[in-house]
């Protein structure tokens, strides 16, 4: 049974195009980007302690972001008691031609959640789904499963066990992403055939509307009552296996239709391995609820499986000490450049205009599926939406348990970062210059570090001055700040992983940066499926692929060890043949160790 609104065939989902900046704002953004280059150059090359200076600036921006985010929540809290006009309804007139009047209403942060995954470990998936039962403001839950074979039934069974009432499962006959691609291509072909200039925006809008109509039709065919005391509150969608982007597109289209039926304005999007806390959804969405220019937000992350292996302990220290700070750099200006897949919130009226361009993205002549999170964020920023990072809110995600999986994940994320940072320069024209500054620091800092290491390795000369005390000060300052201000409070036993975590993250970082730049077009889910039967299949992975994925790390560890040996040999005053023996032995041991914990462990 559909709502009265659903039965109205004239209804169309709004496509809100965003908030493009003025000409003067564009000019200021360009000037700011140009100024950020010499600022970054002088702060690094002409500073005695560049790393320490960088962390001080980062901490200042992090604190500013915390202050602004809290101000957003307070503004929203005040608005809860002040009726305002429902501008979300008013926006629908811009695209659909509906004659709807804005009605006085009280703002709220009610949302629906969409969680997608592929052959997740059943026990972990059950924990993830259970966590949404206590999530505040979540009024509807949507699960997306990227697969409909026998191996995928485990996730369906878990969904039915966790949500035995007010729930149902729907098989999607054709992934909606493929429907959108086909209609988009047909529309553009007709435009060319009729001698009309190709209008991609029109083709995107037509294909988006067709997907919305199809999703609405599927719900109608199943005669579902959405919401209400006895209606469906938990829906599981499964479709033929494609990739993460494919199931996300289908889930988001259904979310748009269902949210319109329920009068919900916000969507929380997450992964099947992520556990939310009771206030994760509410406090993240509160940061965008009172700002009509805010199209999305994301929260901070912690690791829930940190005690499984040494790698997960180190990864947890990285999340605590590094990612919390680095993601805050441009966030204070409302230009966070990545909404993390495990903990993302959207204003639903911002999605229809960006979903088809996001799904059909092409780079290097091929479809891109590795950068689903970042490209969604880029599309929001390109259309003038603010994107917020609520660093004081947490959700708990799963991290790889082995070095090989960790490196694969880091390379996948780095590829997505390069694609969005280097191939979409227009985003810097419409965004605050701090976004460009953060990109320069993130993209070129590790690359310069890799160049400096290799330069010393081959020539014995320093390309840039390196101060040990600079790094010591940096570690001390960031650690003390995190102890005082990080929302994630470490247990006493986790403190010992902080300093090793710094080396665990930063030693491979230059190699990850360079290798991912050279292999940007590679794709895949990134982290492998965790169902038990598929873990056995993953162990039979060919040696050739393992070397392609991880060989760079083995070589890099040899280079790093060679550099350390050369520095020590010079310090000890060794003669040339002693120096060569020291370097070769160090390289051999380091490369064997790198192989042992990555490629050797994969086999």
Q: Which of 488, 470, 7 is nearest to 261 (CA)?
A: 7
pLDDT over 60 (residue 95): no
pLDDT of res. 228: 81
DSSP secondary structure string for all residues of 4-38: TTTT-TT---------PPPHHHHHHHHHHHHHHHH
pLDDT over 70 (residue 536): no
Q: Which of 251, 201, 197, 258 is nearest to 231 (CA)?
A: 258
CA distance 344 to 337: 12
Question: Per-residue confidence at 198, pLDDT binned at 50, 70, 90?
Answer: confident
322 vs 171 pLDDT, higher one: 171
pLDDT over 50 (residue 526): no
pLDDT digit string (tens) for 393-429? 999 999 999 999 999 999 999 998 899 888 888 899 9
pLDDT of res. 539: 53
Question: Per-residue confidence at 465, pLDDT binned at 50, 70, 90?
Answer: confident
91 vs 236 pLDDT, higher one: 236
pLDDT digit string (tens) for 276-320? 999 999 999 999 998 889 999 999 999 999 999 999 999 999 999
What stretches of 402-432 show up as alpha helix (H) in DSSP? 403-422, 426-429
pLDDT over 70 (residue 484): yes
Query: Which residues are paired to 344 by β-bridges?
Result: 269, 298
Helix or strand holding residue 473 (H, E): helix 468-485
**CA R_g for the chain:** 25
The reported pTM is 0.88
Percent of the chain at pLDDT exceeding 70: 89
pLDDT digit string (tens) for 133-179? 999 999 999 999 999 899 999 999 999 999 999 999 999 999 999 99
pLDDT digit string (tens) for 214-224? 999 999 999 88
């Amino acid at each position: 049974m559909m709502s009265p609104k659903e039965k109205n065939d004239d209804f169309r989902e709004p496509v809100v195009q965003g908030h493009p900046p003025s000409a003067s704002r564009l000019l200021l953004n360009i000037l700011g980007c140009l100024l950020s280059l010499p600022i970054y150059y002088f702060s690094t090359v002409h500073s005695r302690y560049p790393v320490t200076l960088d962390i001080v600036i980062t901490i200042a921006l992090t604190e500013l972001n915390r202050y602004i985010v809290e101000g957003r929540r307070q503004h929203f809290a005040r608005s809860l008691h002040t009726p305002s006009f429902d501008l979300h309804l008013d926006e629908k007139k811009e695209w659909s031609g509906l004659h709807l009047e804005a009605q006085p209403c009280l703002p709220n942060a009610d949302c629906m959640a969409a969680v997608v995954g592929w052959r997740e470990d059943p026990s972990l998936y059950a924990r993830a789904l259970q966590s949404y039962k206590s999530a505040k403001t979540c009024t509807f839950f949507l699960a997306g499963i990227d697969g409909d074979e026998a191996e995928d039934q485990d996730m369906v069974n878990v969904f039915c066990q966790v949500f035995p009432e007010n729930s149902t499962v729907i098989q999607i006959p054709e992934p909606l992403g493929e429907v959108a691609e086909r209609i988009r291509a047909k529309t553009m072909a007709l435009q060319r055939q009729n001698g009309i200039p190709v209008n991609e925006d029109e083709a995107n809008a037509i294909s988006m509307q067709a997907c919305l109509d199809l999703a609405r039709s599927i719900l109608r065919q199943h005669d579902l009552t959405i919401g209400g005391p006895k209606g469906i509150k938990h829906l599981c969608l499964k479709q033929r296996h494609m990739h993460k982007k494919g199931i996300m597109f289908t889930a988001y289209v259904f979310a748009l239709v269902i949210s319109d039926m329920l009068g919900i304005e916000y969507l929380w999007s997450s992964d099947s391995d992520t556990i939310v806390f009771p206030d994760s959804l509410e406090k993240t969405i509160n940061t965008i609820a009172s700002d009509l220019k805010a199209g999305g937000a994301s929260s901070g992350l912690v690791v829930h499986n940190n005690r499984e292996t040494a790698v997960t302990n180190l990864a947890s220290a990285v999340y605590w000490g590094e990612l919390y700070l680095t993601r805050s750099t441009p966030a204070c200006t409302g230009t966070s450049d990545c909404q993390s897949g495990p903990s993302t919130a959207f204003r639903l009226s911002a999605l229809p205009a960006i979903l088809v361009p996001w799904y059909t993205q092409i780079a290097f002549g091929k479809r891109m599926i590795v950068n689903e999170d970042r490209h969604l964020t880029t599309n929001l920023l390109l259309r003038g939406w603010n994107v917020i990072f609520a660093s004081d809110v947490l959700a708990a995600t799963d991290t790889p348990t082995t070095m090989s999986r960790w490196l694969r994940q880091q390379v996948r994320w780095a590829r997505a970062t390069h694609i969005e940072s280097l191939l979409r320069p227009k985003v810097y024209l419409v965004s605050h210059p701090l976004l460009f500054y953060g990109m320069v620091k993130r993209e070129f800092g590790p690359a310069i570090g890799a160049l400096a290491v290799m330069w010393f390795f081959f020539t014995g000369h320093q390309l840039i001055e390196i101060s040990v005390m600079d790094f010591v000060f940096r570690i001390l300052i960031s650690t003390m700040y995190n102890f005082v201000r990080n929302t994630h409070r470490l247990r006493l036993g986790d403190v010992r992983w902080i300093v090793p975590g710094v080396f665990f993250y930063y030693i491979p970082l230059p190699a990850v940066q360079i290798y991912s730049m050279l292999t940007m077009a590679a794709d895949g889910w990134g982290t492998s499926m965790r169902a038990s039967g598929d873990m056995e299949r993953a162990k039979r992975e060919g040696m050739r692929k393992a070397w392609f994925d991880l060989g760079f790390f083995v070589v890099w560890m040899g280079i790093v060890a060679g550099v350390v040996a050369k520095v020590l040999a010079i310090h000890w005053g060794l003669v040339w043949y002693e120096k060569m023996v020291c370097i070769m032995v160090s390289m051999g041991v380091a490369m064997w160790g790198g192989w042992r914990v990555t490629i050797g462990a994969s086999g």
